[in-house]
Structure 1
Amino acid sequence: METWDIANKHAESIAKLFPDQIKVFDLKKIKKCDAVDAPTFLHKHIREPLTKEIWETLIWEVVDFLMTNKMHNVYCFFYRQKNDEFSEVIWTLSCAKLNIDDKGIPDEMVVFSYDLKLLGEKSKRLYRVLENDEFIKENFNKVSSLTRREKEIIQLLASGMSSPEIANSVFLSVHTVNTHRKNIINKLHIKNFSGLLKYVDLFDLNTTNIISL
């Protein structure tokens, strides 16, 4: 919170020191737009280049969102940025905060962005999730419908084990293991092994605890 208190008093000075990380938007100079729920516009345009028009609409959505709740709140979101067609795609975690004038009216939006690649190895996992967020949202219920035993079978399949090997490992018949495999295929709507591996990677199914009944 101390960082934001400093930013409220010296936003423009800080922005000059860190031009790539902090941006200050003068709300009086940005055309007011009809705002909808803040996440709606963001989710729709999260993969697009961060144009001036997108920024202006997003800024006012965040302003309305913060004012609807509490103005001292910070609004955080992930965003994909690409400076030009030849540059590398960069995912950032951005946090937005309102500054108010002496009359208590919002007059600035301060946005601080953090390059996720600065997290090192941890950023690889985040990038995979962010690049596949639509897949995760669309298939979350499918994964939730899996039983503990089915998740266990998935983990063993992903490790390269055959049905007889799995049956021997978890003390089930080969027929029962194959039944579980059919149920997994039907629930996840997968057609091949690579489809299964995508679920394993994005939903961390390879970390399922082994159980024995």
Structure 2
Amino acid sequence: MDESNESTNKLIKKKIAEIAAIENDIPGVIIIWNAEDFSLKYMSKRGLDFLGMTIDEIRKMGVNYHTSILNPEDSVEYTPKIFELLRRNNNEEIISLFQEVRPPQQINYSWFITGCKVLLRDNEGHPKLLIGMSIPIDSLLEMAQKAQRIISEKNFMNEHIHQFDLLTKREKELLKFFALGFTNDMISKELFISVETVATHRKNIKRKLGCKTNYDCTHFAQVFNLI
């Protein structure tokens, strides 16, 4: 067992050294984590300079690294994706994460997009290292705004999925028409049902979703990919 651990540790050191040797050629921040406990194994100079910290200072933070430097609210979104990546253990798979990062002495977060994959496995094929490459997107205002919109819509979906699931297949079909601006009369002719039936469906859909305005209905349709 000791020989196996020693062999794995040598592989880890060798792999990290290989990455460190080319870090200046990589257009982003490189981060390497232990795949078993998510402790930080390596961060490229760009990342350390951004944080204003040394690798030893970050390591001493332990688990606080994830809550002091990263926005803990984001972990609700990306932690399950990382666990699934490790479970599938597919050498070709890459996942992308939106993360908010800040140096400890600062108040405001900066947006990064991170691509993540398994970097190293032990002799039995178990993941040992994860690698991520993070690129700042705050300087690209339009992209940052889109990222925020995606995250907001994802949060809305998580908060309202139980309401959306109350809709029948027919009600979801009608919700799409409502969101596209169809009147009751137009929908009546399109689906060959009475105007009164359409009006009843509209009322029931608003009640189930808690919508007060037509815009609220449109928002549901957009977030749940009906339009």
Give the TM-score range, shorter chain: 0.5 to 0.7
Measure the CA separation in 2 of the matches of 1:205 and 1:123.
25
Q: Secondary structure at the match of 2:60?
A: coil
Question: What CA deviation, in whole Å up to 9, does each residue of 1:103-132 have, x standing for no partner?
Answer: xxx997632236789xxxx99976633232
Q: Secondary structure at the match of 1:190?
A: coil
Match of 1:31 in 2: 60
Match of 1:110 in 2: 131
Measure the CA separation in 1 of the matches of 2:189 and 2:217.
22
Structure 1: runs of 5+ lacking an equivalent: 1-5, 48-57, 207-213
Paired letter, 2:179: A
1:130 and 2:151 matched: yes
1:143 and 2:164 matched: yes
* Residue correspondence of structure 1 range 4-23 to structure 2 within 5 A: 10-23=18-31
Match of 1:46 in 2: 74
Question: What CA deviation, in whole Å up to 9, does each residue of 1:67-98 have, x standing for no partner?
Answer: x969887784522346799x996451431546
Shift of residue 136 of structure 1? 1.0
**Number of residue equivalences:** 177
Match of 2:97 in 1: 78
* Residue correspondence of structure 1 range 127-206 to structure 2 within 5 A: 128-206=149-227
Question: What CA deviation, in whole Å up to 9, does each residue of 1:142-178 have, x standing for no partner?
Answer: 2222222111211111221111221121111111111
Distance verdict in 2 for CA 1:19–1:12, change over 3 Å: farther
Distance verdict in 2 for CA 1:109–1:204, change over 3 Å: closer
Q: How big is the alpha-carbon RMSD for the aligned residues of Structure 1 and Structure 2?
A: 4.9
Measure the CA separation in 2 of the matches of 1:8 and 1:45.
29
Shift of residue 205 of structure 1? 1.1
Paired letter, 1:78: L
Structure 2: runs of 5+ lacking an equivalent: 1-13, 33-39, 43-54
Distance verdict in 2 for CA 1:34–1:159, change over 3 Å: closer
Q: Quick check: 1:145–1:187 contact (8 Å CA) kept in 2?
A: yes
Distance verdict in 2 for CA 1:186–1:7, change over 3 Å: farther
Distance verdict in 2 for CA 1:190–1:71, change over 3 Å: closer
Q: Secondary structure at the match of 1:45?
A: coil
Q: Quick check: 1:128–1:202 contact (8 Å CA) kept in 2?
A: no
Q: Quick check: 1:93–1:116 contact (8 Å CA) kept in 2?
A: no
Measure the CA separation in 1 of the matches of 2:221 and 2:129.
44
Paired letter, 1:31: K
Distance verdict in 2 for CA 1:192–1:71, change over 3 Å: closer
